[in-house]
Structure 1
Amino acid sequence: MTASELDERQVEQFERRLLADGAVRVGEQELWRALANVFPHRTPGPAERRLLLDALRSIETRGSIRLPPEHGKRWDRSMDPAVPTSVDIVRERSMPSDFSWRTFPWHQNLHWVVQCRNLSTQQVEFLRRVHDGFVNGMFSEPAPLKYRSLQLTGDEKMLASLATTSLFGPSRLTLELLACLPDALPLAWEAVGDGGRMLIFENAGPFAVARRVLAELEARQYDLVAYGGGRSLLAALGHLKTIERPVQSIHYVGDLDDAGLDIAFAARKCAKELGLPALLAADELHRQMLLAAEAFGYSLGWPSQERFSNSARERSLDIISPSLRNQVHNLLRAGRRIPEEVLGPEEFRAAWSILPR
């Protein structure tokens, strides 16, 4: 679940649970307990941490909680993304007492504001700045999301949080309406051919080897090789819409473990949302990884430190070819994994059934 997919009703329920005890600060244990209660079908691991962070930031925009300073000590940085270990409750929120937003002469793109039943002072101030932006032509030229956020809120991350609230949606505000460029990380890629068939790697080592091997081949299966950088790929896929080379197809390969398949599954969904070609598994490389593990003397794979729930695993396995799915499922169920780094020059050549020149 991404920030844009947060259900407003669930966020409100999460907020009520955080405020229910009357405490001035909500600690780590209660944060996770409340999240589990409101989002019972969440995905474990990094996705769960992202859900917690996005939900808390969304609530912060309502003015009822305050996250700790970003570079302070009250953050758990043991995994990516970092999440707060506690949040402060704002008991005396400033609410406009005169319902001034109902009589203000809003820009035509904001006529819907007069129908809002309740708005915090922070929300009204934000909407007034958006109104001024429409009037003054602020959105006539696209700008990065964080730049626009600084313009409108003074905080480079606040606009992304506001975008998860009821102020954004059909017939309301959108990031496109505010002329925000996609907040995409750069994606490292190199051309090895003239076409648009792209192969993305989770890790840097196999990316470098595959780039060299493909460049040697007369006939090659891919024309573009990219490095996704693990879960960073989810924030970098949008970069493909800005490069000069047209991308006609996307194949992906990463570690055969719970975390690696979760990245692949999320990347497939992300590519679809971005309007990119369907992201498919590089079956020939997954097959070669299984063979390589056996050749290394580890036919059962290597021990895995991270294990997902059965339901999360079943979902992620959908990215694997049906012909390999049972074998990979048995590997993960046994608490084993195969790192992508088992792919060396010989393995790539074997997978692509071509010898070097």
Structure 2
Amino acid sequence: MKHRESELLRSLHTEAEKKNWKKDRRTRLGLEEVWAAFRRVPHRNPQGEYEPLVLARHLHALEQSKHIAQFKQRTQDKISLPVGIWIEPTAAPKSPAPPMPAWHPDIYWLADEWETATAKQRAGYTAVNAWLMSAPDLFRVPQRERALEIFGRYGDEDDFLMPEKTLDSLRSGPLFGDPTRLHHVLRTFTTHPPLLTEHFIEEVGDGYYQRIGAGDLLLVVENSATWWSIVNTLPAGHRLGYVAWGLGGTFRASINTLAAKHAVTEIRYFGDLDLSGLRIPHAAAHTARQRGLPAVMPAKRLYTALLHLGLPRKAKEPPAAEQEAPELTDWLPGPLRPKAARLLRQGRRLAQEWVGYRYLSRTDDWHSDVI
């Protein structure tokens, strides 16, 4: 395509966009709009020719290259021009919406949104609907725990790689874009735990980690919803001094800030069962041993519950190397190691939110991890 023809086509597209052109279908421009587009082309007639002739020549070239189609009806002028043109599609036509599910009464109104929903929204609606249709326990829980329950059990792994975090980013449309309605439908609530930094005991003030009591035990959990759920279901008589969350890769360095004045003699850790979730405490435990710091031990009953309650999902990381899996799981209690190592070698993971507020509030099996 010659330069001026390309410029004219770009200008024609600009005219079409003024009419809300859907690029997966053709749209009509009248001759006046064609002329307006032509007059915006830089140096449109360098030879000073009769302009209708120049325009007719360019339209013919664009039609031959299948970018436009000229109307058969033409003007009666000396140089006959089409009374209008069709701008041909530049994008593949949208696939028709897949069939709707049979809606649960709580979200039947989504039927009106199905045709215009994005593929991601439809996948989310379908998972929520399947969860509601399963007659679930509607005990109210933190939103991330419910997200894992819904998208980790009823969502496709390729659509929801980190199911517990789905609702952190899926925030559009009449369901996911309305927090009040979403909490009502899913029977959830938002939690607001404190934040941590690398120097969470020495340099950060109250409210960034939680002093729970006067005990000598620090419990570190990987994710925020689990922090909230544990803190709000602690038994009387626990020996926790602190509960912390969100240290991530800084945990290995953070344990160096522990000092005798904090009266912490033991650290217990509970996180996701995946490569990163085990590399963190495994490395921190090694550092603690080297430097004579309080031991970093696994929260045995919480990990046992995770392996029992959780549904494994595809991990972000590739499968563990044959040698790394037993090295990492060696930090776990003996009976849990074979299943955890198999999980890592398969490239699967268990998010710690499977051990959620509902479980923690209804059983005392895990209390030995905090007493």
Scaled by the length of structure 1, the TM-score of the pair is: 0.42
- Greater Cα radius of gyration, structure 1 or 2: 2
Scaled by the length of structure 2, the TM-score of the pair is: 0.41
